Amino acid sequence: MVIDEKRDVMDTEIRNGTIIRVTGPVVEADNMSGCRMYESVKVGNAGLIGEIIILEGDRATIQVYEETTGLVPGEPVVRTYLPLSVELGPGLIGTMYDGIQRPLEEILKQSGDMIERGSSAPALNRTKKYKFRPLVKPGEKVGPGDRLGCVRELVAIIHYILVPPGVSGTVESIVGEGEYTITDSIAVLLSGSEKKSLTMVQRWPVREPRPVQERLDPIEPLLTGQRIIDTLFPLARGGTAAIPGPFGSGKTVVQQQLAKWVNADIIIYIGCGERGNEMADVLEEFPTLKDPRTGYTLSSRMVLIANTSNMPVAAREASVYTGITIAEYYRDMGYHVALMADSTSRWAEAMREISGRLEEMPGEEGYPAYLSSRLADFYERAGRVSLIGSGRHEGSISVIGAVSPPGGDFSEPVTQNTLRIVKVFWALDADLAYQRHFPAINWLMSYSLYSGIAGSWWENYVGPGFIQIKQEMMEILQRENELEEIIRLVGPETLPESDRLLLLKAEIIRESYLMQYAFDEFDTFTGPKKQYHMLTSIFSFFKRAETAIETGVTVAQLREHPIVERFARMGSASPEEEESLFEAIDKDIKSIRELKGMV
C-alpha cells in the first residue's frame, strides 16, 4: 500500500492521548481509541517518534525510537494517522540516515554533534532540482510499477520514477524534459472520473513488503572478489547469507569488503547497534574508494543507515526495516541490490529488551518467542523477482547479515534461528583470526546451498574444470584436518611422503589462495578470471608434484622450490606483474627436469 499523507476524511479531528507510564523505551498512553496497530505517533512535549505496538481498549503501548529520559505522565501523545514509513525518491543514494530515516548530515546542522531529542528533517531534499526525462506520453495507460520517467541520481544511478503500487490509469498530462523538485507534480493520471497527481516521491510502510509479480529461482552467483567465498561458499544473486563469529574475528571487515566489491548495482549498508568507531571508519573510507564498476566513488551507489550502539535501542529494529524497504524500492527499478546488516544480534537484543519491558513471556535465553518469525520476515524479503509493471523487468535483493554470538557460541538462539532461514553460512573462527588468517572463515564449518548454481556459472562463463578443482580442494582441506589429529598423536616423522605432500598442498591452498589481505591494494579484490588462473596454476603444480614424488623428490625439496614463493605473491600481484608472474609459474610447472634435478 502506498501511503496517502492526507488523513481519513471521516476523522478530521486530531485527537491526542496522554502518557500514563514510562518504562525505558516503552510508553503507555490512554485516550488512544481509534488508533491502529503500528501507527506512528509523536510522544511528549518534545515530539519523540514512536510506534504503537499494542492496543487494548483506549490504551496503547508505544515503542519510542528516541531517548525517553525526562518524559513524565500527563504529556501528550499526538497521532500522525500514518504507519512507520519511509520516503522513497531521488536523493536516497549517497545519504546517511539513522534508523528512522532522519538524514544525519541535516540533523548535524540543526543540533551539532549530539542529536537533540525530537529533531527532525525531511528524509529527501525538497529544494534540489533533478533533470526529469519523461518515458510515457499523454493518452498511454499505465499501472503499478510502470516507468513514468527517470532522473540521474548523483552520477552513477539512473533513478526511474515508478507508478506507485495500487495506482493505475491513463496519463492525462506529463511534464516535459526539465528540472523539477521531488514535490513538483510530474504527471496526472485519470482513472474513471478521478484524477491523481503524481510526484517523484512516495511513502511506504517499512513493515510491509513491496509487491512483486513472481519470485524466481537464482541463476548466477553474486561475485564478491573474496576468493574463499566465490570459490568454496558462493552466494547467489538474490540469496541470503549469515556471518556469525565471536568478537575480533573480522565480521565487520568482511561486511565492509563485501560492500566495497560485490557486483551489485546498489549497496545498502546498515550499521545496527555497532560501535561508533566502526561506523566512523565506513564514513571516512567509503567516500574515498573508487568504485571499479562505475569509476566514481563507492558512495555514489550506496545508502548508509547508521544506528550505533549509543543510539536508542528501539531504533535498531526500525533501522533493519528501513534498509530493506529502501532496497526493495531500488529492486523495483530493475536493479540488483546487496544489503549488509551488521549485526542482526544487536537487533535481536533490542527485541529482547523491549519484550522484557512489555513483560512478555520470554523464550530461550530471554529472547521473545517471536524471534524466529521476525528474522524470517526480514530474510524472506530477499530474492530474485519478476517485477510488477509492463516491462517485465527483473531485480534482486541479496541479504548478508552478521551475527555476533556471545563467546562465539553458535548454538545460541539468534545464530540457530538465522541458520534455519539462510542458505549460506560463513562461520568465522577466532583461532584463524588469532593466526592472522583473514578472512577467518572456517572452511570445515561453513557451507553454501548455492554451490551447484555457482559451479555451473563458473564452468560456462569462466573456465572448465572448476567444479572438479573445488571438490579436490575441499578433500585436501578435510584430509589435512584428519592428518593433524594423527600428527598430534604420533608426530610428523611417521607420515609417508604422500601425506606430507598433502600437507604441503593444504598449506599452499590456505596461505596462497584462501588467505586474502583486505588492506592490500591488489589482494583486496580478485576477479573470477584471476581466481580461475590461480586455481589452475596451483592444481597443475600439484599434479606435477605427485609425479616428482614418485621419481624420488622429497616434499622438503619441493618446499624450497621458487614456485612456492611465487604462489604466495599471486594475490597481491598488480595487473602489470600478473602476466610475468604466471608465465614464471607455468615454466616452473612444465620444468619437470628442474624438479627431478633436485634429487
Domains 130-200 and 466-596 share a fold: no
Give the whole-angstrom CA distance, residue 376 versus residue 422.
9
pLDDT digits (tens, 9 = 90+) for 248-275: 888 888 988 998 899 999 999 998 887 7
pLDDT of residue 292: 72
Which triple of cell numbers denotes residue 367? Answer: 529472547
Give the whole-angstrom CA distance, residue 431 versus residue 246.
10
User: Between residues 552 and 284, which one has the greater pLDDT?
Assistant: 552
Bridge pairing between strands 424-425 and 240-244: parallel
Q: Which of 41-55, 102-116, 120-134, 341-355 has the lowest mean pLDDT?
A: 102-116
CB 349 within 8 A of CB 412: no
Interval 151-170 mean pLDDT = 92
CATH superfamily membership of 215-448 = P-loop containing nucleotide triphosphate hydrolases (3.40.50.300)
pLDDT digits (tens, 9 = 90+) for 1-11: 666 654 443 34
- To the nearest 10 degrees (0 to 180), the angle between helices 315-331 and 344-357 is 130
CATH topology of domain 1-83: Elongation Factor Tu (Ef-tu); domain 3 (2.40.30)
pLDDT of residue 437: 93
pLDDT of residue 10: 37
For 406-431, b/e burial (b = at least 16 CB within 10 A) is eebebebbbbebbbebbbbbbbbbbe
Domain borders along the chain are 1-83, 130-200, 215-448, 466-596
pLDDT digits (tens, 9 = 90+) for 410-434: 999 999 999 999 999 999 999 999 9
pLDDT of residue 107: 85
Give the whole-angstrom CA distance, residue 230 versus residue 236.
10
Domain 466-596 is in which class?
mainly alpha
- To the nearest whole number, what is the mean pLDDT of the chain? 90
Q: What is the DSSP string of 142-168?
A: E-TT-EEEEEEETTTEEEEEEPPTT--
User: Between residues 468 and 484, which one has the greater pLDDT?
Assistant: 468
Which pLDDT band holds residue 599 (cuts at 50, 70, 90)? very low
Indicate whether 151 pLDDT > 60: yes
Give the whole-angstrom CA distance, residue 41 versus residue 62.
8
- Global pTM reads 0.92
pLDDT of residue 595: 53
Give the whole-angstrom CA distance, residue 433 versus residue 323.
30
Domain 130-200 has CATH 2.60.120.10: no
Q: What is the DSSP letter of 48?
A: E
E strands in 206-299 = 214-216, 240-244, 266-272
pLDDT of residue 3: 65
- Maximum mean pLDDT: which of 293-302, 513-522, 549-558: 513-522
Taking Cα atoms as reference points, which of 243, 237, 202, 161 lies closest to residue 424? 243
Interval 555-560 mean pLDDT = 88
CB 358 within 8 A of CB 364: no
Taking Cα atoms as reference points, which of 106, 94, 207 lies closest to residue 155? 94
pLDDT digits (tens, 9 = 90+) for 176-213: 999 999 999 999 999 888 999 999 999 999 999 999 99
Taking Cα atoms as reference points, which of 38, 68, 46, 569 lies closest to residue 357? 68
How big is the CA angle at 236 (ends 235 and 239), to the nearest 5 degrees?
90
